[in-house]
């Protein structure tokens, strides 16, 4: 079946195509009866608007891009849900691409997005990204960008992040309140701001309670479960096992350590307590359940989308002030971190 157009609907109803167009846009010049007939016929004929043609006609794109490190993670999937919800209601379609945590792929994705002449782009940078020139190129082409969760360093743009520092501080302070004193940290890539902020929260919580941070109890690894397994092995080796609790940079990393502990017959929290970060669905399903720092991923997506809409609107009106939003986190205490002081 060929693509149904406004003219096809007009011919079927024996009215002008301009009337059909106005009716579909709910224009006040068209009476209710005609609008009802047009909408009914559009549904019957399975009419779908040609967004690309509309964009060319108005010289304004109705498509936005979203670049995430990995689509497979529930965290980013939930963020994208929030983004698409806001954008679809505003009349935009969403094009999603993933960097797979590789800077080179991020550059390729950026070039592809530029060629699409998008209205704007939402970005969460890869763990290997340090050079931000490709993102600056988007701005030079007049394409608004908004960073979410993982922001670009040294580039001025609107952003929405979580309060990673306080989330980490509360997580470690909770472990201390449970009687743990030899607390290790499985950190993320050192170039990422989320890694830096969570590491600072870890250090400052120890300092507040008079505990010394031991270098042997800190391992910087990746952000996935496999990284948690390798990171845990390295931690046990360099600390000689002198650890009674671990704060992980992400839930996947912490769950990787959890898995490795099971394989080596170590008990959670009997031998080592665990706390993660993100409140992934898996954290409530493992036994014992995992204490974690909750982040509202859908809220982050919705907020980032609104910031981008503000940028798009501001650019069209000749005024686009940059905005920065920090969302709160919440500690979710479960079985994996309960110590001697809890009973």
Mean pLDDT of the chain: 90
What is the distance in angstroms between the CA of the first residue and the CA of the last residue of the chain?
Answer: 69
- Looking at residue 89, which CATH number applies to its domain? 3.40.50.2300
187 DSSP β-pair partners: 220
CA-only gyration radius of the chain, Å: 25
Do residue 27 and residue 105 come from a single domain?
no
Do residue 17 and residue 153 come from a single domain?
no
Asked whether residue 229 is domain-assigned, the answer is yes
Q: State how far the alpha carbon of 6 is from the alpha carbons of 20, 54, 55, 275, in Å.
A: 6, 12, 16, 57
CB 40 within 8 A of CB 259: no
Asked whether residue 242 is domain-assigned, the answer is yes
Which tens digits make up the pLDDT trace of 200-239?
Answer: 999 999 999 999 999 999 999 999 999 999 999 999 999 9
Residue 57's pLDDT band, with cuts at 50, 70 and 90, is very low
**Which of 5-19, 83-97, 183-197, 265-279 bottoms out in mean pLDDT, i.e. has the lowest?**
5-19
- Looking at residue 32, which CATH number applies to its domain? 1.10.260.40
Which tens digits make up the pLDDT trace of 102-116?
Answer: 999 999 999 999 888
Do residue 218 and residue 336 come from a single domain?
yes
Give me the sign of the Cα torsion angle 265, 199, 282, 227. Answer: negative
Do residue 235 and residue 187 come from a single domain?
yes
Do residue 271 and residue 308 come from a single domain?
no
Which tens digits make up the pLDDT trace of 106-150?
Answer: 999 999 998 888 999 999 999 988 889 999 999 998 899 999 999
The predicted pLDDT at position 329 comes to: 97
CB 194 within 8 A of CB 150: yes
Domain hosting 213: range is 164-295+331-342
The predicted pLDDT at position 220 comes to: 96
What is the per-residue burial (b if ≥16 Cβ within 10 Å, else e) of 155-168? Answer: bebbbbbbbbbbbb
Do residue 264 and residue 194 come from a single domain?
yes
User: Domain tally for the chain?
Assistant: 3
Do residue 142 and residue 116 come from a single domain?
yes
Instruction: Say what the pTM is.
Output: 0.80
- Angle at which helices 103-115 and 133-140 cross, to 10°: 10
For residue 151, pLDDT beyond 80? yes
Residues 6+ apart with CB under 8 A from 142: 315
The SS3 assignment for 265 reads coil
CB 298 within 8 A of CB 148: no
Do residue 112 and residue 152 come from a single domain?
yes
């Amino acid at each position: 079946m060929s693509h149904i157009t406004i003219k096809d609907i007009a011919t079927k109803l024996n009215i002008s195509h301009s009337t059909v167009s106005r009716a579909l846009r709910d224009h006040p010049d068209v009476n209710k009866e005609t609008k009802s007939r047009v909408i009914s016929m559009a549904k019957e004929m399975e009419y779908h608007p040609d967004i690309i043609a509309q964009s060319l006609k108005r010289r304004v794109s109705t498509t936005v891009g979203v670049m995430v490190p990995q689509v497979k993670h529930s965290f980013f999937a939930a963020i994208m849900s929030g983004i698409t919800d806001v954008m679809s209601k505003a009349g935009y379609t969403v094009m999603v691409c993933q960097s797979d945590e590789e800077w080179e792929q991020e550059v390729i994705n950026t070039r592809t997005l530029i060629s699409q002449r998008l209205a704007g782009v939402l970005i969460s940078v890869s763990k290997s990204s340090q050079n931000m020139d490709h993102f600056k190129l988007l701005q030079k082409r007049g394409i608004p960008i908004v960073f979410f969760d993982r922001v670009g360093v040294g580039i001025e743009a609107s952003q929405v992040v979580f309060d990673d520092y306080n989330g980490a501080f509360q997580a470690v302070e909770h472990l201390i309140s449970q009687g743990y004193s030899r607390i290790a940290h499985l950190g993320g890539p050192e170039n990422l701001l989320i890694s830096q902020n969570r590491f600072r929260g870890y250090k400052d919580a120890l300092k507040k309670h008079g505990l010394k941070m031991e270098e042997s109890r800190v391992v910087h690894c990746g952000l996935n479960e496999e990284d948690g397994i390798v990171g845990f092995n390295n931690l046990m080796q360099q600390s000689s096992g002198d650890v009674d609790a671990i704060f992980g940079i992400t839930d996947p990393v912490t769950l990787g350590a959890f898995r490795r502990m099971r394989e080596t017959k170590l008990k959670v929290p009997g031998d080592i307590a665990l706390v993660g970060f993100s409140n992934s669905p898996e954290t409530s399903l493992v036994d014992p359940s995992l204490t974690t720092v909750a982040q509202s991923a859908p809220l982050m997506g919705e907020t980032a989308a609104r910031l981008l809409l503000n940028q798009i609107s501001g650019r069209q009106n000749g005024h686009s002030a940059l905005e920065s939003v920090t969302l709160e986190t919440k500690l979710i205490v479960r079985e994996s971190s309960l110590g001697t002081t809890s009973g």
